């Protein structure tokens, strides 16, 4: 097993709080996230044009996590500084980055189920839904990794708890829109293969509002 | 590394080093006005650029100018609001007997604006990302209003906390000086000795109180420190001023509009007079849902 994959294992051991090195973490996101993306994009098979979708998805999953992370980080840095937690920010940074890597690790571990689902059922809507569930599970489980690294910080200073909540709000706010922009992840079998959907620009929140309004009949 | 000077100066404010009791004791706030002002303008320009990304993705006549307009308008918004509200703050402060000189007061406010602009600048990336990916003008307006409110809130919170720290220090200095006054005329050995012992205890108590109020290693610039508050009137003046600053700032942003640029109309440096900020935000909110 390559050394960096052995390092990934460290993310999961509850007693050992030694993190993989900062150089390894983004690499893990790229490899493991890329792996889940490959599986995710394989909905239409690997033949001909569909191979592009596999490649696109393999790029998009790490991109989704790393871009959301980098866009949210500067404001979180300023918030931490204002709260007087600058001295801890090195540890905070590695905890957050480790969570990104941890999330891809969980996704990668779930990828066989996705493959099995694709082989069993043909419906595109169900495929989307299943992937949504997988991402949901991974995000939920990744919180345990995040908490594991954050708990010592919270013990030292209670303010870290508030910061953690702020981070999750910030990350989710940006991440939802990022996921919307980077569509399609799976690739509808009826539409052409493309990196971004044409006319896909739009706002996730606005769309949700509109769907909500339509559903209550306004 | 001359360029990094202002950045370091601002960073020290953000880390609370400038508002630690040791630093506050010596003068009001030991900051370089010019450098912080420079950073405010720079961060304003940066945020303006992020804000104008929305107009870059649109295609209406003269939208290129919106980039320059937004960049200039953001720092102008903050500095003009300060310019309008500063004289009255100074006058009312002096009226209620505060110890602030003009420059000291200005330093305090510029430092607060520095905090606000740092938050604003760091949120710029998120705003730029949403500008690129969304087509909804209403959403962008509301997002920007929210981002400005958060930044402004943090800046004003910094102002109030620094003020509170200063009043704690004044309190301590006053008790110290009153102790000195009582100790100096000591003539009778018996009485004097008694008084002195008591005073030593009292002053050590006072300083230990201060030490428990300030734990400078942990406390950030926004941390609440508990203790007696001096000069309630001064704080009231500042509280009122904060409300005024918020109102003026909001209306100033309305006068200086458009910041983002309506994709359905031509570019204009300013829009015609009329209406108010609050009315507009309300209508935008309704627009988002329609």
How close is the nearest chain A Cα to the Cα of B101, in Å?
Answer: 26
- Helix, strand, coil content of chain B in percent (nearest 5): 75, 0, 25
Rounded CA gap, B173 and B167, in Å? 10
Note which residues in 154-183 of chain A have CB less than 8 A from chain B: 157, 159, 170, 173-174, 177-178, 180-181
Chain A residues with CB inside 8 Å of B219's CB? 84
Average per-residue pLDDT for chain B: 80
pLDDT for B112 beyond 50: yes
pLDDT, tens digit, for every residue of A44-96?
Answer: 888 777 888 899 999 999 999 999 999 999 999 999 999 999 999 998 998 99
Residue B180 pLDDT greater than 80, yes or no = no
Overall average pLDDT of the A192-198 stretch = 75
- In chain A, which residues have their Cβ closer than 8 Å to the Cβ of B119? 75, 78-79, 82
With 50 as the cut, is the pLDDT of residue B199 above it? no
B221:A75 CB<8 A: no
pLDDT band with cut points at 50, 70 and 90 for residue B234: confident
Query: Per residue in B217-256, is it b (16+ CB within 10 Å) or e — as a string?
Result: eebbbbbeeebeebbeebbebbeebbeebbebbbebbbeb
Structure confidence at residue A14 (pLDDT): 52
pLDDT for the residue numbered A144: 85
**A32-46, A145-159, B158-172: the lowest-pLDDT one:** B158-172
CA distance B38 to B114: 10
Say what the pLDDT of residue B188 is: 45
Residue, of B225 and B102, whose pLDDT is higher: B102
Per the model's pLDDT, the better-predicted residue between A216 and A52 turns out to be A52
pLDDT confidence of residue A202: 72
Looking at residue B170, its pLDDT comes to 73
Tell whether A137 is within 8 A of chain B (Cβ): no
DSSP-derived 3-state class of residue B1: coil
| Ranges of each domain in chain B | 28-177+229-275
Put simply, the answer to whether B125 touches A75 (Cβ < 8 Å) is: yes
Q: How far apart are CA B67 and CA A1, in angstroms?
A: 52
H helix or E strand, kind and range, residue B167: helix B137-183
Residue A84 at interface with chain B, using a CB cutoff of 8 Å: yes
Task: Tell me what pLDDT residue B201 has.
Answer: 45
Give me the pLDDT at residue A164, please.
94
CB contact under 8 A, A203 and B139: yes
Q: How far apart are CA A193 and CA A57, in angstroms?
A: 11
Alpha-carbon gap, residue A83 to A95, rounded angstroms: 18
* pLDDT > 90 fraction of chain B, expressed in percent and rounded: 31
Nearest to B119 among A72, A78, A203 (CB): A78
Among A147-151, B1-5, B128-132, B259-263, the minimum mean pLDDT is found in: B1-5
Looking at A5-19, A126-140, B216-230, which range is the least confident one? B216-230
The answer to whether A71 contacts chain B (CB < 8 Å) is yes
C-beta of residue B4 within 8 angstroms of C-beta of residue B199:
no
pLDDT at site B200:
43
Which DSSP string do the residues of A165-187 spell out, in sequence order? HHHHHHHHHHHHHHHHHT--SS-
**pLDDT of res. B229:** 43
CA atoms within 13 A on the CB side of B248: 17
What is the spatial distance between Cα B130 and Cα B132, in angstroms, rounded to a whole number?
5
**Mean pLDDT, rounded, for B50-79:** 88
Q: What is the pTM of this model?
A: 0.79
Considering only A58-62, B79-83, B88-92, which range has the smallest mean pLDDT?
B88-92
Alpha carbon dihedral A124, A125, A130, A133, in 10-degree steps, equals 150
A contacts of B137 (beta carbons < 8 Å): none
* A27 touching B (Cβ < 8 Å): no
Is residue A190 over pLDDT 80?
Answer: no
Sign of CA dihedral B128, B129, B133, B139: negative
CA B223-B227-B233 angle, to 5 degrees, is: 95
Is the preceding peptide bond at A184 cis, omega within 30 degrees of 0?
yes
pLDDT above 60 (res A1)? no
Handedness of CA B259, B262, B267, B273 (dihedral sign): negative
Range from A198-202, A206-210, B14-18 carrying the lowest mean pLDDT = A198-202
On whether the CB atoms of residues B71 and B49 are closer than 8 A, the answer is yes
| Distance separating alpha carbons of residues B104 and B107, to the nearest angstrom | 5
Whether residue B195 contacts residue B186, with contact meaning beta carbons closer than 8 Å, is answered with yes
Of A78, A202, A205, the CB nearest to B118: A78
Q: Is the pLDDT of residue A171 over 50?
A: yes
Mean pLDDT of all residues in A4-17: 66
Beta-carbon count within 10 A of B268 CB: 15
What is the rounded average pLDDT of the residues B275-282?
84
Q: Which of A197-201, B232-236, B257-261 has the highest mean pLDDT?
A: B257-261
Instruction: List, for residues A110-129, the tens digit of each pLDDT value.
Output: 999 998 888 888 888 888 88
Which residues in chain A have Cβ-Cβ distances shorter than 8 Å to B15?
81, 84, 86
- The per-residue pLDDT for A18 is 64
What does the domain layout of chain A look like in residue ranges?
21-217
B129 touches chain A (CB under 8 A): yes
Q: How far apart are CA A155 and CA A17, in angstroms?
A: 15
Q: For the residues of chain A, what is the DSSP string, one character each?
A: --HHHHHHHHTT-SS--PPPPTTHHHHHIIIIIHHHHHHHHGGG-SSTTHHHHHHHHHHHHHHHHHHHHHHHHHHHHHHHHHTT-GGGHHHHHHHHHHHHHHHHHHHHHHHHHHHHHHHH---HHHHHHHHHHHHHHHHHHHHHHHHHHHHHHHHH-THHHHHHHHHHHHHHHHHHHHHHHT--SS--TTS---SS-TT----HHHHHHHHHHHHTT-
Return the CA Rg of chain A. 19
Q: Where is average pLDDT lowest: A37-41, B51-55, B225-229?
A: B225-229
Is the bond preceding residue A84 a cis peptide, omega within 30 degrees? no
Q: For residues B151-190, b (16+ Cβ closer than 10 Å) or e, as one string?
A: bbebbbbbbbbbbbbbbbbebbeebeeebeeeeeeeeeee
Contact B133 A177 (CB under 8 A): yes
With a cut of 90, say whether residue B136 has pLDDT above it: no
Contacts of B135 in chain A (CB under 8 A): 201-203
Q: State the pLDDT at residue A15.
A: 54
């Amino acid at each position: 097993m390559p050394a960096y994959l052995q390092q990934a294992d460290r993310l999961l051991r509850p007693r050992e709080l030694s993190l993989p090195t900062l150089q390894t973490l983004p690499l893990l996101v790229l490899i493991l996230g890329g792996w889940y993306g490959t599986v995710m994009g394989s909905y239409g098979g690997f033949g001909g044009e569909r191979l592009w979708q596999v490649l696109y998805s393999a790029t998009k999953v790490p991109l989704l996590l790393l871009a959301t992370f980098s866009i949210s980080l500067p404001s979180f840095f300023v918030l931490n500084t204002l709260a007087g937690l600058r001295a801890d920010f090195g540890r905070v940074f590695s905890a957050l980055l480790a969570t990104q890597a941890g999330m891809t690790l969980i996704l990668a571990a779930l990828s066989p189920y996705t493959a099995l689902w694709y082989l069993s059922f043909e419906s595109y809507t169900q495929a989307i839904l299943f992937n949504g569930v997988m991402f949901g599970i991974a995000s939920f489980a990744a919180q345990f990794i995040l908490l594991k690294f954050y708990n010592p910080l919270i013990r030292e200073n209670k303010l870290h708890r508030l910061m953690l909540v702020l981070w999750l709000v910030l990350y989710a706010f940006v991440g939802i829109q990022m996921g919307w922009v980077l569509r399609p992840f799976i690739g509808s079998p009826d539409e052409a293969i493309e990196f971004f959907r044409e006319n896909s620009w739009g706002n996730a929140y606005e769309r949700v509002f509109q769907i909500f309004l339509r559903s209550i009949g306004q | 590394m001359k360029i990094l000077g202002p950045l370091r100066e601002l960073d020290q404010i953000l880390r609370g080093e400038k508002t630690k009791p040791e630093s506050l004791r010596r003068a009001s706030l030991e900051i370089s006005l010019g450098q912080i002002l420079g950073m405010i303008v720079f961060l304003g320009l940066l945020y303006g650029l992020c804000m104008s990304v929305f107009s870059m993705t649109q295609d209406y006549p003269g939208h290129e100018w919106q980039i320059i307009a937004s960049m200039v308008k953001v720092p102008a918004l903050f500095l003009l609001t300060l310019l309008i509200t500063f004289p009255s703050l100074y006058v009312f402060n002096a009226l209620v007997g505060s110890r602030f000189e003009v420059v000291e007061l200005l330093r305090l406010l510029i430092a607060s604006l520095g905090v606000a602009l740092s938050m604003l600048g760091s949120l710029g990336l998120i705003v730029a990302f949403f500008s690129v990916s969304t087509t909804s003008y209403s959403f962008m307006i509301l997002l920007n209003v929210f981002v400005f409110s958060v930044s402004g809130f943090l800046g004003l919170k910094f102002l109030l906390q620094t003020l509170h720290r200063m009043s704690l220090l004044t309190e301590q200095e006053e008790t110290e000086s009153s102790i000195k006054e009582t100790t100096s005329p000591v003539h009778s050995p018996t009485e004097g000795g008694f008084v002195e012992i008591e005073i030593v205890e009292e002053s050590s108590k006072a300083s230990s109180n201060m030490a428990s109020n300030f734990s400078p290693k942990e406390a950030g610039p926004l941390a609440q420190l508990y203790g007696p508050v001096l000069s309630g009137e001064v704080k009231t003046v500042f509280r009122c001023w904060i409300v005024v600053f918020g109102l003026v700032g909001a209306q100033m942003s309305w006068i200086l509009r458009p910041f983002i640029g309506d994709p359905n109309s031509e570019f204009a440096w300013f829009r015609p007079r009329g209406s108010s900020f609050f009315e507009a935000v309300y209508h935008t909110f309704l627009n988002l849902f329609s």
